């Protein structure tokens, strides 16, 4: 749904009161409070006020204020793979760091999602995000591409490691639960 709420409304209120909570007995896993251009928040961060300063303190942002919510049966690796594909396809190609960097991020995440990843690929993903965030570019696309990936690896590292160790995705790869 579409909701207009005062700045500072907690994410928990938006999900459970406005959005009527999780559907089909799913349990909350993560939310991207600013859409795919920001780091995901965890259950422990749901009471954070949706305002610029509070979100910055926990390493994310308000972005477009599109809240994307994931249930516990949604794969975080597959989710950021979809986000990475979007950023890769939307890069205009004007800035070489963005054009090449979004492709590199997509390929690294795809390798993990496809069951071909190795533990050192997580370090490559983190290093790539760090490098790309410090490049001169003309727009915010490259920064946004790195934030969701970097945050997902930080907050859900064990899920990436499970993909690598099991050499497959253990989830049903259900689509994103809801956009609030």
Q: How far is CA 41 from CA 66, 88, 94, 98, in A?
A: 13, 23, 32, 25
Question: Which residue in the block uniquely carries the two structure tokens 């303190």?
Answer: 57
Whether residue 175 has pLDDT greater than 80: no
Spans of all domains in the chain:
11-74, 76-166
125 or 72, which is more confident? 125
Mean pLDDT, the chain, rounded, equals 90
What is the predicted pLDDT for the residue at 2? Answer: 84
Same fold, 11-74 and 76-166: no
DSSP code at position 43 = G
CA distance 110 to 85: 9
Percent pLDDT > 70 in the chain is 95
Please write the tens of the pLDDT for every residue from 19-64: 888 888 889 999 999 899 999 999 999 999 999 999 999 999 988 8
Cβ density class 34-49: b for 16+ within 10 Å, e for less:
bbbbbbbbeeebbebb
What is the β-pairing status of strands 68-71 and 178-179? antiparallel
pLDDT of 76 strictly over 70: yes
Banded pLDDT at 123 (limits 50, 70, 90)? very high
Alpha carbon distance 164, 121 (integer Å): 9
More confident residue, 73 or 107: 107
| Residue 40: strand, helix, or coil | coil
Task: Give per-residue pLDDT as tens, 132-146.
Answer: 988 888 888 899 999
Provide the whole-model pTM.
0.90
Q: Which architecture, in CATH terms, is 11-74?
A: Roll (3.10)
Predicted pLDDT of residue 25? 82
What CATH architecture applies to the domain 76-166? Up-down Bundle (1.20)
- Are residues 170 and 87 in contact, defined by beta-carbon separation less than 8 angstroms? no
Give the pLDDT score at 176.
Answer: 55
Cα dihedral angle (88, 94, 97, 100), rounded to 10 degrees?
Answer: 40
Higher-pLDDT residue of 139, 126? 126
Mean pLDDT across the stretch 158-174? 87
């Amino acid at each position: 749904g579409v909701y207009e709420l005062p700045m500072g409304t907690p994410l928990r209120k938006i999900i459970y009161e406005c959005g009527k909570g999780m559907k089909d007995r799913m349990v909350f896993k993560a939310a991207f409070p600013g859409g795919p251009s920001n780091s995901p928040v965890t259950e422990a961060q749901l009471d954070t006020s949706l305002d610029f300063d509070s979100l910055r303190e926990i390493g994310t942002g308000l972005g477009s204020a599109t809240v994307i919510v994931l249930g516990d049966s949604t794969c975080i690796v597959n989710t950021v793979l979809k986000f990475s594909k979007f950023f890769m396809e939307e890069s205009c190609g004007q800035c070489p760091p963005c054009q090449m960097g979004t492709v590199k991020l997509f390929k690294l995440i795809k390798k993990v999602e496809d069951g071909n990843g190795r533990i050192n690929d997580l370090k490559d993903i983190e290093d790539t995000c760090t490098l790309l965030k410090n490049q001169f570019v003309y727009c915010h696309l490259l920064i946004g591409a790195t934030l969701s990936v970097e945050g997902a690896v930080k907050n859900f590292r064990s899920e990436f490691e499970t993909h690598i160790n099991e050499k497959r995705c253990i989830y049903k790869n259900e689509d994103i639960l809801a956009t609030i």
